[in-house]
């Protein structure tokens, strides 16, 4: 050693931060952010980027699923719960699909709310995955979330890409439906037929025997239905009662 000096090489420890999974919960503030796109949300935490997929999302093998914003393809840039519902039309098509990503899987009815005229037909077309389109009806072993007096309908299992199922809706009202394999993950949607008054629609009364995931989805769908039809479809009976009260006052001389 030069000069007889003793030297020591000091090894400094290197500290690393273990990777951790970050769960992204969508908030109203995030939904209003222009960077919140319809396909995914990027959340950076401690150098780790977590991707929240739009739609009914889950992590394969994790044993749990969660719902993020549902701005699925074809819904524009608005997050689920605020997408525009157009109609009514004589016929409509709903895309049914599964989108698989590295860390999650996304299940979709697109659009979430379909609006047809009385006597109109809805066709479900399978784009990917294995799904059903099944009415919430007692004959399907489910609570009644369709108009009174209507029959149950069920596509059966659709597994071939391009496979279709059609149903004609002859009764005005609101119809909720779901995918049998993926109901618990929030794969639900709605058909509006005609321009019904909402105060007498079974679909707008939440069932008691469903999970928070399903109830939350139903609440979102009901909000979209109310927004599409407007307040006048809910207040028809209230106006009638007001008119009746006014008539009584007139007869009493007040």
- Residue 252 is predicted with a pLDDT of 52
- Say which residue, 228 or 105, is predicted with more confidence: 228
pLDDT at residue 31 tops 50: no
pLDDT at 200: 92
pLDDT of residue 104: 84
Beta-carbon contacts of residue 117 (< 8 Å; ≥ 6 apart): 88, 89, 90, 193, 194
Going from the N-terminus, what domains does the chain have, and what CATH number goes with each? 85-236 (2.60.40.420)
| pLDDT at position 102 | 83
List the single range of 31-40, 193-202, 240-249 with lowest mean pLDDT: 31-40
Paired strand residues for 122 = 92, 167
Q: What is the pTM of this model?
A: 0.65
- The string of pLDDT tens digits covering residues 133-146 is 999 999 999 999 99
Token couple for 206:
């939440």
pLDDT for res 101? 85
Strands (E), 48-196: 48-53, 56-58, 65-67, 89-100, 105-110, 113-126, 134-135, 164-169, 173-178, 188-193
Residues facing residue 185 across a β-bridge: none
Mean pLDDT confidence for 48-68 = 38
Q: Residue 78: helix, strand or coil by DSSP? A: coil
């Amino acid at each position: 050693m030069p000069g007889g000096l003793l030297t020591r090489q000091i090894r400094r420890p290197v500290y690393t931060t273990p990777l951790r999974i970050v769960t992204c919960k969508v908030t109203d503030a995030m939904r209003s952010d222009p960077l919140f796109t319809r396909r995914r949300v990027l959340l950076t935490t401690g150098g780790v980027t977590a991707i929240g997929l739009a739609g009914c999302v889950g992590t394969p093998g994790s044993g749990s699923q969660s719902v993020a914003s549902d701005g699925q393809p074809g819904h524009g840039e608005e997050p689920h719960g605020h997408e525009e519902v157009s109609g009514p039309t004589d016929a409509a098509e709903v895309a049914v699909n599964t989108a698989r990503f590295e860390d999650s899987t996304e299940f979709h009815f697109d659009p979430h709310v379909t609006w047809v005229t009385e006597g109109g037909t809805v066709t479900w077309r399978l784009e990917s995955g294995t799904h059903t389109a099944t009415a919430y009806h007692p004959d399907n072993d489910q609570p009644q979330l369709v108009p009174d007096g209507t029959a149950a309908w069920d596509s059966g299992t659709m597994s071939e890409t391009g496979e279709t199922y059609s149903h004609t809706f002859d009764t005005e009202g609101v119809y909720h439906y779901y995918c049998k394999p993926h109901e618990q993950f929030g794969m639900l949607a709605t058909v509006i037929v005609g321009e019904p008054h909402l105060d007498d629609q079974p679909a707008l009364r939440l069932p008691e025997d469903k999970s928070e995931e399903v109830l939350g989805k139903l609440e979102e769908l009901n909000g979209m239905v109310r927004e599409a039809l407007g307040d006048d479809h809910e207040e028809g009976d209230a106006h009638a009662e007001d008119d009746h009260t006014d008539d009584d006052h007139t007869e009493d001389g007040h």
